[in-house]
């Protein structure tokens, strides 16, 4: 520990310490193993009262503060890890519905405040039951991973991909108006169709139905999801050749 010449101020250094000799009482510098760097304002202790015992007490206190700081850093890291786990889907390495809805709310607020259009895409995979029945549920999980990877790889860093549940996904297209959102959704659907899933050496074609909704003033997350969901079902009926409702 090193004491500065400034009255009332003590500084620590990582490789120096101060001790007082018994014969002369003069201060000499010796090496020490401690590695603490802090500045302590000792406003109530006059320099002449900064005895070795007081110095040691202050050093012990600073070591305790350093220990508490490390424990706090560790706790904060663990909290961040737990928050990440709470926001990540149980199966896929993408946000779950809870985290996606939070981002949806944030993007709606941003669009309202700055007038920047953004679009929600609601996705439902077709024929997942056929894959599960024919190849097993493990294959169904691989299909979900396959689609999630393709979606993540083909959107911008500002966009958000989330799993809404089952074989349903959500995509938040930042600063994309209705026309751009529809164009991007069509492109993503084509990418899924052009990249079949390989199971046991067999290429399994996949497809999706989608609906888009561009945010408007006063929208709520649940309302936006419901409108995009309804648009998706209309698209699914078109794919099946059914009459729209």
In angstroms, rounded to a whole number, what is the distance separating the alpha carbons of residues 185 and 189?
6
Q: Model-level pTM? A: 0.67
- State the catalytic residue, choosing from 89, 159, 167, 219: 167
- Helix 221-240 × helix 97-114 angle, to 10°: 110
Residue 242's pLDDT band, with cuts at 50, 70 and 90, is low
DSSP H helices, the chain, are 52-87, 97-114, 128-135, 137-153, 178-194, 221-240
pLDDT > 50? residue 28: no
Q: How far is CA 210 from CA 6, 25, 152, in A?
A: 71, 83, 16
Question: Among positive and negative, which fits the CA dihedral 123, 127, 130, 135?
Answer: negative
- Residue 11's pLDDT is 42
Residue 10's pLDDT band, with cuts at 50, 70 and 90, is very low
The 10s digit of each residue's pLDDT in 142-160 is 999 999 999 999 999 999 9
Q: How far is CA 241 from CA 159, 222, 234, in A?
A: 31, 29, 10
Residue 200's pLDDT band, with cuts at 50, 70 and 90, is confident
Residue 217's pLDDT band, with cuts at 50, 70 and 90, is confident
Decide: 198 and 180 in contact? Cβ < 8 Å: no
Decide: 116 and 106 in contact? Cβ < 8 Å: no
DSSP 142: H
- Residue 101's pLDDT is 96
| Domain ranges across the chain | 2-86, 97-240
* Mean pLDDT of the region 72-91: 73
Fold of 97-240: Alpha-Beta Plaits (3.30.70)
The 10s digit of each residue's pLDDT in 30-66 is 444 444 444 445 556 677 777 888 788 888 888 888 8
124 is known as an active-site residue: no
Decide: 38 and 66 in contact? Cβ < 8 Å: yes
pLDDT > 80? residue 124: yes
């Amino acid at each position: 520990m090193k004491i500065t010449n400034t009255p009332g101020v003590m500084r620590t250094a990582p490789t120096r310490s101060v001790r007082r000799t018994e014969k002369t009482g003069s201060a000499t510098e010796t090496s020490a193993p401690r590695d603490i760097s802090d500045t302590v304002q000792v406003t109530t202790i006059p320099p002449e009262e900064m005895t070795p015992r007081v110095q040691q007490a202050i050093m012990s206190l600073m070591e305790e503060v350093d220990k508490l700081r490390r424990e706090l850093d560790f706790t904060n890291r663990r909290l961040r890890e737990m928050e990440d786990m709470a926001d990540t889907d149980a199966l896929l390495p993408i946000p779950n519905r809870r985290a996606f809805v939070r981002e949806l709310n944030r993007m709606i607020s941003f669009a309202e405040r700055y007038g920047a259009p953004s679009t929600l895409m609601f996705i439902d995979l077709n024929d997942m039951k056929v894959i599960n029945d024919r190849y097993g549920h493990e294959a169904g999980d691989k299909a979900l991973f396959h689609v999630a990877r393709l979606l993540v790889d083909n959107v911008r860093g500002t966009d958000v991909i989330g799993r809404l549940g089952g074989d349903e996904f959500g995509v938040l297209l930042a600063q994309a108006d209705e026309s751009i959102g529809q164009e991007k959704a069509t492109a993503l659907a084509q990418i899924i169709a052009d990249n079949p899933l390989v199971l046991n050496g067999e290429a399994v074609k996949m497809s999706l139905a989608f609906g888009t909704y561009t945010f408007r003033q006063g929208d709520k997350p649940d309302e936006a999801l419901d409108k995009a969901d309804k648009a998706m079902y209309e698209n699914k009926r078109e794919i099946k050749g059914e009459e729209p409702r």
